[in-house]
Amino acid sequence: MDALGFVVNPIAGMGGRVGLKGTDGKLGEARDLGAEPRAPGRARKALRALYNREPDLTVYTAAGVLGEDVARDAGFDPRVVYAPADDSDSGDGDAGNGTEGVATDPSNPGTTATDTREAVRAFLERGVDLVLFVGGDGTAVDVASVLEDGDTGDAGETPMLGVPAGVKVYSSVFAVTPADAGRIAAEFDRVAPREVNDIDEEAYRAGEVRSELRAVVPVPVAPDVQAGKQVARGSVDTLAAGVAREVESGRTYVFGPGGTVGAIQEELEMEPSPLGVDVWRDGEVVARDAPEQEILEVLSEPATIVVSPIGGQGFVFGRGNHQLSPAVIDRADEIEVVAAEEKLDDLDVLRVDTDDEATNEALRGWQRVRTGRYTTRLAKIV
């Protein structure tokens, strides 16, 4: 690879830990709730992994928080080819290295999806070999829309790869972790068509998943590109009954999102928030659809976190349940992973991606997974 196009959605994932299940249309509310930018840190991990392998790579990017800042921090000398606040053109066809007028606060960049699309268009005009983007499914849709529009020559043949940073990461165009994205970008030698999916965030916040195929694009072939999200097969009734039968008096239970965990909550005669996190103790719901801070406020020991891996991907933490942050995980003395046999059969391994490497490392290893009323299986978290 000779040239890379790199763009960051700086607000991606900010709604996760504060319980908003996405940032679309909710940035102001997320900031009011104390949300911190997630994307820049994950972008930095990806580019550092890339720089370690390809330090002389030509990197085209957008100004300031849209990519330039992270690229320079990782060691590259990027060529800024798009700046939202500076439409001037330097003599060599680039936008220059200045970022005058471009926001430097990732939580309030003053940019839109249009800027992502225009940046990608600028990359394609320079003939990049790969578009590496940082964000979630919405950002993937923006990037793919430019690759597919046919206005930039051979754009439809240019591959894309995502660094996962959003709350929703349903598409099969993302690397498993940021570091994997950097490694894949440096080493890939072939591509294959993969799906870009997006969901309706308002419906998602209301507990309903409405997924829509938005594009099919070339993506580098590598074991560490995640699969698209799948729905688990089979009944979880006996599994739910087994967990409910063993609840302990005085213990706090933190229930993650998803249908499998929701079935356990229903067995306990509580109404689950299907895509949120609920806290329950001694027959009472003490927090419903709670953000990270509220969970920490009501969490008392002993405490059990109950989660189910995402079908087709295997993520236990770090996809769709950012409220279960490293701080929350650290406060729990027990983690119970639950999954129907059919779901587990489709997964080679389980995965974690919490933004904290110490937490990830502590979670890795063999994990006992409850699969039925009395049955368990061992699965490896990597």
* Res 188: pLDDT: 95
**Residue 226 vs residue 61, higher pLDDT:** 61
Residue 13 lies inside a defined structural domain of this protein: yes
Same domain for 258 and 302, yes or no, is yes
Task: Give CA torsion, residues 57, 63, 65, 71, to 10 deg.
Answer: 10
Same domain for 50 and 194, yes or no, is yes
CA atoms within 13 A on the CB side of 62: 35
Same domain for 326 and 186, yes or no, is no
* Res 95: pLDDT: 53
CA atoms within 13 A on the CB side of 229: 22
pLDDT band at 85 (very low <50, low <70, confident <90, very high): low
pLDDT band at 89 (very low <50, low <70, confident <90, very high): very low
Sign of the C-alpha dihedral computed for residues 358, 360, 365 and 371 taken in this order = positive
Same domain for 214 and 244, yes or no, is no
Q: What is the mean pLDDT of residues 64-71?
A: 94
Alpha helices in 61-199 (DSSP H): 68-74, 113-125, 137-148, 178-187
pLDDT reading at 215 higher than 60: yes
* Res 232: pLDDT: 41
* Res 268: pLDDT: 92
Residue 231 lies inside a defined structural domain of this protein: no
Q: What is the mean pLDDT of residues 261-288?
A: 91
Q: What is the mean pLDDT of residues 214-223?
A: 90
pLDDT band at 252 (very low <50, low <70, confident <90, very high): very high
pLDDT band at 91 (very low <50, low <70, confident <90, very high): very low
Choose the weakest-confidence range: 181-190, 193-202, 204-213, 313-322.
204-213
* Res 326: pLDDT: 95
pLDDT band at 93 (very low <50, low <70, confident <90, very high): very low
- Judge contact between 219 and 192, C-beta under 8 A: yes
**Which candidate, 36, 46, 38, places its Cα nearest to that of 6?**
46
* Res 52: pLDDT: 97
Residue 22 lies inside a defined structural domain of this protein: yes
Alpha carbon distances (Å) from 163 to 41, 72, 142, 351, 362? 11, 17, 14, 15, 23
Same domain for 256 and 189, yes or no, is no
* Res 170: pLDDT: 77
The pLDDT tens digits for 155-180 are: 568 999 999 987 767 788 999 999 99
Given 220, 247, 280, which residue is the final one in a domain? 220
Count of domains observed in the chain: 2
**Which candidate, 152, 79, 88, 142, places its Cα nearest to that of 114?**
142
pLDDT band at 198 (very low <50, low <70, confident <90, very high): confident
Same domain for 131 and 184, yes or no, is yes
pLDDT band at 82 (very low <50, low <70, confident <90, very high): very high
Q: What is the mean pLDDT of residues 344-369?
A: 91
pLDDT band at 30 (very low <50, low <70, confident <90, very high): very low
Given 194, 220, 246, which residue is the final one in a domain? 220
Given 164, 190, 220, which residue is the final one in a domain? 220
The pair of three-digit structure tokens given for residue 374, joined into one six-digit string: 């009395």
Q: Which domain holds residue 297?
A: 237-381
The pair of three-digit structure tokens given for residue 294, joined into one six-digit string: 């509220």
Alpha carbon distances (Å) from 165 to 52, 100, 174, 349, 364? 21, 27, 10, 21, 21
* Res 337: pLDDT: 95
Same domain for 207 and 243, yes or no, is no
The pair of three-digit structure tokens given for residue 239, joined into one six-digit string: 């599994």
Instruction: List the strands of the sheet with 79-82, edge to edge.
Output: 79-82, 58-62, 3-8, 130-135, 160-164
> What is the pLDDT of the chain when averaged over all its residues?
83
**Residue 241 vs residue 110, higher pLDDT:** 241
Same domain for 115 and 195, yes or no, is yes
Same domain for 246 and 195, yes or no, is no
Same domain for 44 and 157, yes or no, is yes
Choose the weakest-confidence range: 211-215, 278-282, 334-338.
211-215
pLDDT reading at 313 higher than 70: yes
pLDDT reading at 44 higher than 90: yes
pLDDT reading at 200 higher than 90: no
Same domain for 257 and 199, yes or no, is no
Residue 228 lies inside a defined structural domain of this protein: no
Residue 230 lies inside a defined structural domain of this protein: no
Residue 279 lies inside a defined structural domain of this protein: yes
- Judge contact between 178 and 164, C-beta under 8 A: yes
Residue 369 lies inside a defined structural domain of this protein: yes
The pLDDT tens digits for 123-160 are: 999 999 999 999 988 899 999 999 987 555 555 689 99
pLDDT reading at 37 higher than 90: no
Beta bridge partners, 160, equal 131
Same domain for 88 and 195, yes or no, is yes
